[in-house]
Amino acid sequence: MKAVVQRVSRASVTVDSKIIASITSGILILIGIEDEDTSDDIKWLSNKITNLRVFSDDNNVMNCSLLDTQGDAIVVSQFTLHASTKKGNRPSYLKAAKPDISIPLYESFVKQLESDLGKSVGTGEFGADMKVELLNDGPVTIIIDTKNKL
């Protein structure tokens, strides 16, 4: 699994001109799933994200996590995170898992994140043409790959 984690002042996801998820202070997570991903990847990634110290403490030092700040989260499926650009100018998405594999893993990740945070999280709509709007705070953008845990 690959995730792009962005600290946001606000974020929203719109499908068919209707806002389906919206948060203020928190994180927007773009997540890409590949065939080899497992429940261990889900648990590790959710734990890493919920405990990632990217929010400022009283001394304006990034020392607080999403758990510490009780911030919100939105998770958006993003198969293009597994794009290969080695040949030509048209990206290949062969490493991205097909829906029969990625949808259950995506849903499991959302449930794990909700469990770890102790609250509901917003989501995009899997496979839909989504409009994702965000105000990146910092900016803080971190890329996490479960294949590079060490």
Instruction: State the amino acid at position 82 in one-letter form.
Output: H
**At a CB cut-off of 8 Å and minimum separation 6, what does 135 contact?**
8, 9, 10, 11
Among 131, 128, 127, residue whose Cα is nearest residue 103 = 127
- Which member of 24, 38, 70, 80 is catalytic? 80
- Which member of 6, 14, 50, 78 is catalytic? 78
- Which member of 50, 55, 79, 112 is catalytic? 79
User: How many Å apart are CA 93 and CA 84, to the nearest integer?
Assistant: 6
Sign of CA dihedral 31, 35, 36, 41: positive
Is-catalytic flag, 24?
no
Is-catalytic flag, 70?
no
User: How many Å apart are CA 116 and CA 144, to the nearest integer?
Assistant: 18
Is-catalytic flag, 78?
yes
| End-to-end CA gap in the chain | 15
Q: Which residues are identified as catalytic?
A: 78-80
